[in-house]
Amino acid sequence: MSNEQIKSLEEIFEARIARDEKIEPKDWMPEKYRKTHIRQISQHAHSEIVGMLPEGNWISRAPSLRRKAALLAKVQDEAGHGLYLYSACETLGISRIELYDQLHSGKAKYSSIFNYPTLTWADMGAVGWLVDGAAIINQVPLCNTSFGPYARAMVRVCKEESFHQRQGFEIMLKLCNGSKQQKDMAQDALNRWWWPSLMMLGPTDAESVHTEQSMKWKLKRKSNDDLRQQFIDQTVPQADLLGLTIPDPDLKFNEQTGSYDFGTIDWDEFWQVVKGHGPCNKQRISARVAAWDNGSWVRDAAMAHAAKKEALKIKIAI
Amino acid sequence: MKNENLYNYILGIADNSLILGQRLGELCGHGPSLETDIAGTNISLDLIGQTRSYYQYATKISEQEKTEDDIAFLRIEREYKNVLLVEQPNTHFGYVMGRQYLFDVYHLMMLQQLQFSKDETLAAIAKKGIKEVSYHKRFSGDWVKRLGDGTAESTAKMQEAINDLWRFTAELFDMTDADTAMALEGKGVDVSKLKEGYYKEVTALLEEATLTAPEGMYFSRGGKKGVHSEHMGYLLADMQYMQRTYPNMEW
């Protein structure tokens, strides 16, 4: 294809996106669009399956049968999100095994929030309330993103995430209406999860490398800083309702902007975790690699069995 | 308690679901594939749901002020009535599927009888359970076949699991005093009558899976009487941690 032809295809493509048309897997797309989407969708899928680990950590110790069932259902939802996000990603011409390899080798990233440990039951509340809360703010705009399979997957993901967020808040509410020990547990969880949740919305706009192009492709519709502000403005009144204190002495409502001003985020910590040196990075990846490696004989057996069945079918047909 | 036999009978059934659900829950996020993780979690969720229905019913029969969580979390080990099979650890995926299948076949047979119980609540719980457990059995049975008739390595591993777990199967058909009393009243199932059909069905599937049902083995029993394996204490320590550390609180 000549450069001119490609240029004309690109123009048609950009015009379709500008008209809010969906791009489907078989449509022509620029290589950069394809690669960017593989990166973002797989990063999202990896976050779902790595995110199963910190919450799975409390299934066996959930304090009541009702909570155990709800947590099982939640972690199962996350596995489901992982499954259809990997499927959406595969439509771009990459296999799930290749994507796993990227995760296991450290080439692909996942949300850095899952590199923090879940130490008490209240962390199940805080993760639902804050982490899923921040995730929704990030993801709701993606329901209208330009790539069809991703946009459709996000509609379902967002519905379920919003349920998880309410469930997390309800865990916190129960703790905050409980004994002093329970309320202390809730405050401690908020103290540990607040700042990492703010970091979860990504580096400041000045440092964000992907924003401009992603905005154009509607892969991103608001900047990281705008999303962060939205999260803070939404969450502070909820903390008030719980009777918990946000661990930020500089947090203050600004009458002029109608938003909360907040303190400085420790970006050194953020980059440290992103670069693999958070409290649980090694543990999380080792757990995923172990699950994959220990499961290889099972997957091999399934393939071998399917091949035998197929051969038998052909033999019978002949 | 007016109806101690009924109470004990319900716990005898429910404890199996609780402990197996707990074991499967430990695996969440660590399975050989995303699909098996989802299925395993789903089965665990079904079993915990069944447990809740049984325990909620048991709280109505108990004359003490008890909740489903008191029954689930605040008994001592000797008071749990589950069979030894369901508390066995997740040694590898062959054990997980072997344990599941060996239990599912029994579980489905038992529920298919329990649905005709003269006790309406038990009959209703059983009816709902049959749909779920039919799926569990299909899933675990398919995996026993895949692993048994897969690669040389998987055949060896699946056979190893069956050999180790087989000795826990006979206990499934032992009748406790509560079982006998409830069977006489037409409320409970005479599980001793399920034994022949069980071994016939299991042996046929093992054969299809190119596996061998162990013969002439000694059988281990005790769970139904509260005498468990060494694994049980650790399982309970984990499961009861919150309720023991923070007593008398709501979650």
Of A76, A179, A294, the CB nearest to B41: A76
CA distances from A76 to A86, A134, B20, B232, B249 (A): 15, 20, 17, 26, 27
* DSSP states along A99-131: HHHHHHHT-S---GGGGS---STHHHHHIIIII
Q: What is the pLDDT of residue A219?
A: 85
What is the per-residue pLDDT across B157-214, written as a single tens digit (0 to 9) for each? 999 999 999 999 999 999 999 999 999 999 999 999 999 999 999 999 999 999 999 9
Q: Does A304 touch chain B (CB under 8 A)?
A: yes
CB contacts, 8 Å: B157 with chain A: 297
Q: Which of B34, B154, B246 sits opposite A301 (nearest CB)?
A: B154
At A124-135, the pLDDT tens digits run 999 999 999 999
Any CB–CB contact under 8 A between A22 and chain B? no
CB B70 within 8 A of CB B40: no
- Interface contact A59-B145, CB threshold 8 A: no
Contact B44 A290 (CB under 8 A): no
How far is A221 from A240, CA to CA, in rounded Å? 29
Residues A197-210 as b or e (16 or more Cβ within 10 Å = b): bbbbbbbeeeeeee
User: What's the confidence (pLDDT) of residue B104?
Assistant: 98
* Number of inter-chain CB pairs under 8 A, A vs B: 139
Chain B residues within 8 A of A76 when measuring between CB atoms: 28, 38, 41-42, 45
User: What residues of A are in contact with residue B250 (Cβ under 8 Å)?
Assistant: 174, 178
A253 forms bridges with which residues in the sheet? A260
Report the residue of chain A nearest B154, measured CA to CA: A301
CATH fold, domain B4-212+223-245, is Ferritin (1.20.1260)
Alpha-carbon gap, residue A49 to A75, rounded angstroms: 9
Provide the whole-model pTM.
0.96
Residue A185: the pLDDT is: 98
Q: At residue A212, does pLDDT exceed 80?
A: no
**A173–chain B Cβ distance below 8 A for any pair:** no
pLDDT digits (tens, 9 = 90+) for B17-51: 999 999 999 999 999 999 999 999 999 999 999 99
Q: Taking the domains of chain B in order of start, what are their residue ranges? A: 4-212+223-245
Q: Distance (Å, rounded) from C-alpha B107 to C-alpha B217?
A: 23
Distance CA A39, CA A21 (A): 22
Q: Do B246 and A301 touch (CB under 8 A)?
A: no
Which of A267, A233, B233 has its CA nearest to residue B241? B233
Q: Indicate yes or no: CB of B29 within 8 angstroms of CB of A174.
A: no
